[in-house]
Structure 1
Amino acid sequence: MSTTRRIGTVILDVVLAALFGAAGFEEVHTSAIGLLPAAAGPTVAVVAGIALLARRFRPLPVLGVALLGQLLVGAFAPMLLAIYTVARHYGNRRPTWLAALASVIVAVVPWGAGSWWELFVHRGVIVTVGLALPLLLGLWTNQRAETLAALRERAEQAERERDLRAAAAVEAERLRIAGELHDIVAHRISQITVLAGALEVSADGKPAEIAGTIRATGSRALTEMRELLGVLRARDGGEAAPLRPVPDLGAIAELVAEAVAAGQQVDLSLPPDLPRVPGPVGRAAHRLVREALTNAAKHAAGAEVRVALTVADDRLDVDVRNGPGERTALAAQGSGFGLLGMRERVELAGGTVHSGPLAGGYRVHATFPLTADE
């Protein structure tokens, strides 16, 4: 609570205590009710009014003082503010209704009056209605405060959930970008590494040709990096860079041709007619082959690689295997994104993937269900 609001609350409490205390003080001068002599009336009324200052912190004890004021000298007004405060504090709960019952009994019975029955009949309805009004107002105020608190909590919870969803989306996007960067950079640099190794041992007049291939591969890597950065700039409000078509099954042949041009020995086997597959399946298959070729270049340089796509029993099998070869310097610098990202992409496309050593080499095999695009 702010300082200004706290000061305002204190001022309000003082004003209300003074008003209801003054009303009680006036009542005792004409009231015929009370167990104490009339001379004690002003003092008891003042005490009941002062007690109202603590009503927010001790609502039930303050009500007890107000009930004593009514019982002893007939000071009814402090009870009204006290019963409102109890209802406002406890709401629709047992303390409120027990306090209300005690207040009705104390207020209706004409304690110490001579004409007891006559006063009881005349006061019963009026006093009960008089107590009911602040009681109901206190209950309504409590219910309203609880409703506002629940709405505020719900809004805060929704805001927290929104922040969590935003954080999860950001994290997912970071992982996606990391995977894309890994696919682009690792694949192209692996090709450059293979070509550089060939350049070191070349003695048959091919250095210029190999150097040209290295330059072309590096240029493609830079182009693909610019395209990805263009997408990121577009999401920040910038102008998007032109993108090449999304990779699919048809681009696997081009991918293998690039690997062969980079110096890898790759044998590609495709079905006569490539099946029509959903976009996620085509992208996952393409990236699986690219990752497998990258790993073969890094971990088994010079090894023969076999890439085979087969269609059988309403499924597409993608199999990439390589024989034994030489580990390159890049093999010890793996980021771990490759196989993990490949597995995630295959599973998101509805497929399954298995990978592991095979006869001195390595094999990656994925199976996708064949479902036509809607």
Structure 2
Amino acid sequence: MDGRWPGWGADAGLVVLTFLPALLSQPYVDTSGPAWTSLTVYETVGVGVLLLRRRLPTTAFVVGFGALFAALVGSAGAGAKLSPLVFLPLAVLLYSLGNHVASWRRTVSAVLGVSVLSVAGLWLNRMTTDSGDFQGGLDVLAALAPMPLAWAMGFAARTRQELLAAAERRAADARRAQALEAAQATQRERARIAGEMHDVVAHSLTLLVVHAETLRARGGELPDWARVQADGLAAAGRQSSGELRDLLRMLRDPADAAPLQPVPGLGELEALLDSHRAAGGTAGLTVGIAPESVPGPVQLATYRVVQEALVNARRHAPGAPVRVSVDGVAGELRCEIVNGRAPRRGTAGAGIGLGLVSMEERVGALDGGLTAGPTGDGGFRVVATMPLERVDV
């Protein structure tokens, strides 16, 4: 209803502006009964055709023109005159004809139709009145002469609207083409990165797994501690190989992003800490929230944060005890990883310096927050918080 009101309001205003002036000026032209009768009938018909000018512009123009000439001829035959302002609705109908009719055949047909009506009306007017004052002439021609300008204005408005619509379509096509080109460029870059990762990382990781399995096969020749290390190395290599395959598949085709193996979550944290212990570390785990109540993306992010924190602890604080705690607090999951002071110096230049950045981006993608920094006793603390209610993934 609200969307229709502006259109009806415009129509009402146009009716007032086109028909009221003739009513107001008629008393200064002719106050006879025939004049008022012709004017009233004409304006009644004119209001109807004016309201139909958008839906039936050609019909409205022909009927409106016919009603105007009938009013003029009828009043002239009765010896009455109408106000020259009765031609105002005709200008509006001509504007609508130029603005809404794109077919030249319909436009020419309408013009020919009103031409026939004009000739017939003039002939009938000559036949029904003897007075030269009511036979029509230059006064009618003077009123009709500017009318083609109204049609030209409507035609120009329609042409401008079509040009604007064409420009908008071209802009939309250009945006779609640009988006398609960007998507193709992104896919090409994904494929290139996937190829580089496969050539550089997958080959080395495969060799690592092969060597670890070779050591396991000759476990009888190794001391106990070496066998444990070889088992942990082989398990870590197989897990990393599987995750790398999933990552390469996603890079090559984002639509085929379903992982080949289960996504790690809170239930795999104990196994993750076992691998840390197998590498010579000391770690403790406390989980105060049921895994099934935690959304999958939050579980995966928590696993990755703990995984990266343990790697950093092994690099920078080898041998230091690590304490991992996961709990739900006020609608959020809180994960804290704290390592103590290192009994020996870490490996100089270990890592590429993007571990904390990666953790922060992963947690931030879930509307969470991450803080990391040294503790007062020489250790290091990482705290990640992520909402449990709303996860936009």
TM-score by length of 2: 0.47
Taking structure 1 as the reference length, the TM-score comes to 0.49
